[in-house]
Copies of this chain bind each other. A is one copy, B any other.
Amino acid sequence: MLGRLNHVAIATKDAVKAAKIYGTAFGVQISEAVALPEHGVTTVFATLPNTKIEFIEPLGEGSPIAKFLERNADGGIHHVCYEVVDIIASRDTLVKEGARVLGDGVPKIGAHGKPVLFLHPKDFSGALVEIEQA
């Protein structure tokens, strides 16, 4: 069973700048920038009443979002992240239903310290989907 939408991730060349208008025009609480070298991104969060917007900026060589920003110079909505109660059971159900899991199918520890998997955009209407153990 699918849980909450944990966050919407927006890729950008400057996460602090991207989040700024959410603070100034929308009055949203904006986090400090946090560098996550092991994930190749710097993140800034905007906290909404029911979910978060995560601004991600490339960090270091070979950032996983570098190619996306080559194709989308202004940035863009990069992925959605859904919470699941049991990531292994969810993965197995997804595969049974014909969805492809990216990488080797073994959950990695994500940016929030919890196991995550990414699913193939072609199986989700072109949307990159992350599932995160709740």
- Residues of chain A having any CB pair with chain B under 8 Å: 1-5, 8, 10-12, 18, 21-22, 24-28, 48-51, 53, 55, 72, 74-77, 79-80, 82, 84, 90, 93-94, 96-99, 121-127
Q: A25-B93, A25-B94 are in contact. Are A10 and B127 (CB under 8 A)?
A: yes
Of B55, B72, B126, which contacts A74 at CB under 8 A?
B126
Q: Is B49 a contact partner of A4 (Cβ separation < 8 A)?
A: yes
**How far apart are the CA atoms of A21 and B121 in the complex, in Å?**
12
Task: Identify the closest chain B residue to A48 (Cβ).
Answer: B5
Of B74, B97, B124, which contacts A125 at CB under 8 A?
B74
Q: A3-B49, A25-B94, A97-B25 are in contact. Are A76 and B125 (CB under 8 A)?
A: yes
**How far apart are the CA atoms of A28 and B109 in the complex, in Å?**
25
**How far apart are the CA atoms of A96 and B25 in the complex, in Å?**
8
Q: Which residues of B contact A12 (CB under 8 A)?
A: 125-126
What are 22 of the A-B contact pairs (CB < 8 Å)? A1-B27, A1-B28, A2-B28, A3-B48, A4-B50, A5-B48, A5-B50, A5-B51, A8-B8, A8-B80, A10-B126, A12-B125, A21-B97, A25-B93, A25-B94, A26-B90, A51-B51, A74-B121, A74-B125, A75-B126, A76-B121, A76-B125
